[in-house]
Amino acid sequence: MKNYMKLQFAAKSENESFARVAVAAFISQIDPTLDEINDIKTVVSEAVTNSIIHGYEENSEEIVTITVTIDQMEVEITIEDSGKGIENIEEATQPLFTTKPELERSGMGFTIMENFMDQIEVTSSLGKGTTITLRKMLKSNNMIS
């Protein structure tokens, strides 16, 4: 079973919770565990917040795009923006690194994504935007252990 959804919304902080819930609702069709749903909601929140705050610098005229693909029990989530891009991906993905300390950003977004997902891929071009692809193999609540 392969299925997908694509969602676009204004780069407004208040849409972050909508994105979390929409992705969780979509993946619920494969009956993930509560922990898996919470992990995915957390990483979607982190990635969307990064797009809004860092990529677009809170310019609500811009658009964040999320694509979710389900292939059997594997979930792939892609969060894209066409914002300013990441100058140094290696540096940006280090724990505690933030370009917005004045906003009390912890710099743990990418670390959280790495810890909650099986795979994370970050591509970015200055002035063109950033794409974060997250993959996780889920366990089914219906599977007998």
Q: Which of 16, 36, 46, 80 is catalytic?
A: 46
Tell me, yes or no, if 50 is annotated catalytic.
yes
Strand partners, 78: 67, 133
CA–CA gap between residue 26 and residue 29 (Å, rounded): 6
Q: Which of 105, 115, 121, 135 is catalytic?
A: 105
Tell me, yes or no, if 135 is annotated catalytic.
no
Tell me, yes or no, if 142 is annotated catalytic.
no
Positive or negative, the CA dihedral 51, 52, 57, 61 is positive
Q: Which of 16, 50, 62, 80 is catalytic?
A: 50
Strand order in the sheet with 63-71: 2-10, 63-71, 74-81, 129-137, 119-125
Catalytic residues, by residue number, are: 46, 50, 105
